[in-house]
C-alpha cells in the first residue's frame, strides 16, 4: 500500500492528449507546464508510434514519480496526427479532453481550472480555447494574439480562419466520440473537427494567453502551404451551409493559395507575420 500514490485513487476529470514524435528536446518543458497547473485531477497520455530518440525513456521515468503521466505506444507504422489524437481520445479516462503539443507549453497555471469550471457550468458549450504567445527556438516572444471570444463572433469567422488555437483547447469527450473523432486528413484536421463540434454545441475563447507556441523550422504550415490551401477549400465548401461568410472564406483562402507560389525564402520570412495577421483579425 505504501507504493500507491494519491492519483491512483482518483478518476481524472480531464485527459490531456499529447501526440509526440522525436521531441525529447522539448517535451520536458511541455510536461513541466502541466505539472505546474493549479488543477491536479488530470491524466497525461503521451501517444507515440515511431520515435527513435529517448522520448519513451523520459516519459517512463516520469511515470515512476507521477502515475498520471502515461506513455502509450501505438502499433501503427506511421500514423497521422488525427489517428494519434483519436487513439488518445478513445483510451482517455476523463470527461474532458485537453490538448497540448509536445513542443509547446502552458504559460498560465489556471488553464485546466478555468476551462473545466466553464464547461461544468455551461453544458451547452462543447469547445473552449484561449490565446497564444508565439516563441522562437530560444523561447523568446515573437508576438501574441487572442481569438474571438463569444460564440456568435467565433461562428462569423469560422470559415475565414481556424477559430481556435489547437494547443489551447478543451472539449467534451462524449461529443468527440459521437462525431467519431478527427477525420483522417493530412492538413487542418483540427479546424475540420472544431467545425463539426460546433454543430453540436457552442464555442468560447478565453481572453487570456494560455499557451506558448513554438514557431520553428519543424512547423510545416508554410513549407507545404499550397497543399494546405487545397484542404482549406474543401473545409470551407463542406461547411458552407452551417457557418456564415462562405464567399469571404473562399476569397481569403484564394489569396493564400496564390501566395503559396511565392519563393520559399519569402514565405519563411513572412510566415510569422501572416500568423499574427490571421490570429488577430480572424
Q: What is the pLDDT of residues 100-125, one digit of tens each?
A: 999 999 999 999 999 999 999 999 99
Question: Do the strands 202-214 and 125-135 form a parallel or antiparallel pair, or are they unpaired?
Answer: parallel
Q: End-to-end alpha-carbon separation of the chain, Å? A: 53
pLDDT of residue 6: 44
pLDDT for the residue 90: 98
Alpha-carbon distance of 171 to 179, in angstroms, equals: 12
Q: Cα separation of 79 and 199, whole Å?
A: 27
Question: Distance between CA atoms of 151 and 149, rounded to whole angstroms?
Answer: 7
Percentage of the residues of the chain whose pLDDT score is greater than 70: 87
Mean pLDDT within 188-195: 97
Average pLDDT over residues 246-264: 84
Q: Is residue 72 classed as helix, strand or coil in its secondary structure? A: strand
Extract the runs of DSSP E, i.e. beta strands, from 149-277. 170-172, 202-214
State yes or no: pLDDT of 27 exceeds 80. Answer: yes
Indicate the domain borders of the chain. 6-220
Give the SS3 label for residue 188: coil
Q: Which fold has domain 6-220?
A: Spore Coat Polysaccharide Biosynthesis Protein SpsA; Chain A (3.90.550)
Q: Give the Cα separation of 204 and 119 in Å (integer).
A: 10
Which secondary structure element, helix H or strand E, spans residue 21, and what is its range? Answer: none
Amino acid at each position: 500500500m505504501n507504493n500507491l500514490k494519491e492519483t491512483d485513487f482518483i478518476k481524472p476529470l480531464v485527459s490531456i492528449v499529447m501526440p509526440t514524435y522525436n521531441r525529447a528536446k522539448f517535451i520536458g518543458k511541455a510536461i513541466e507546464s502541466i505539472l505546474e497547473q493549479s488543477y491536479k485531477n488530470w491524466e497525461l497520455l503521451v501517444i507515440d508510434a515511431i520515435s527513435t530518440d529517448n522520448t519513451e525513456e523520459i516519459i517512463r521515468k516520469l511515470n515512476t514519480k507521477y502515475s498520471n503521466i502515461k506513455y502509450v505506444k501505438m502499433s501503427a507504422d506511421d500514423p497521422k496526427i488525427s489517428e494519434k489524437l483519436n487513439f488518445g481520445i478513445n483510451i482517455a479516462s476523463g470527461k474532458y479532453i485537453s490538448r497540448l503539443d509536445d513542443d509547446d507549453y502552458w504559460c498560465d497555471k489556471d488553464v485546466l481550472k478555468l476551462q473545466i469550471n466553464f464547461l461544468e457550468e455551461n453544458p451547452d458549450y462543447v469547445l473552449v480555447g484561449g490565446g497564444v504567445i508565439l516563441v522562437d527556438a530560444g523561447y523568446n516572444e515573437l508576438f501574441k494574439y487572442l481569438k474571438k471570444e463569444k460564440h456568435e463572433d467565433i461562428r462569423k469567422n469560422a470559415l475565414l480562419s481556424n477559430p481556435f488555437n489547437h494547443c489551447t483547447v478543451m472539449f467534451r469527450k462524449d461529443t468527440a466520440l459521437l462525431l467519431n473523432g478527427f477525420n483522417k486528413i493530412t492538413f487542418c484536421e483540427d479546424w475540420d473537427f472544431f467545425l463539426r463540434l460546433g454543430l453540436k454545441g457552442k464555442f468560447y475563447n478565453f481572453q487570456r494567453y494560455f499557451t506558448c507556441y513554438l514557431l520553428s523550422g519543424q512547423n510545416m504550415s508554410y513549407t507545404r502551404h499550397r497543399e494546405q490551401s487545397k484542404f482549406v477549400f474543401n473545409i470551407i465548401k463542406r461547411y458552407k451551409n452551417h457557418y456564415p461568410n462562405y464567399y469571404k472564406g473562399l476569397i481569403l483562402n484564394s489569396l493564400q493559395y496564390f501566395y503559396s507560389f511565392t519563393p520559399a525564402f519569402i514565405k519563411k520570412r513572412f510566415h510569422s507575420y501572416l500568423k499574427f495577421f490571421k490570429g488577430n483579425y480572424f
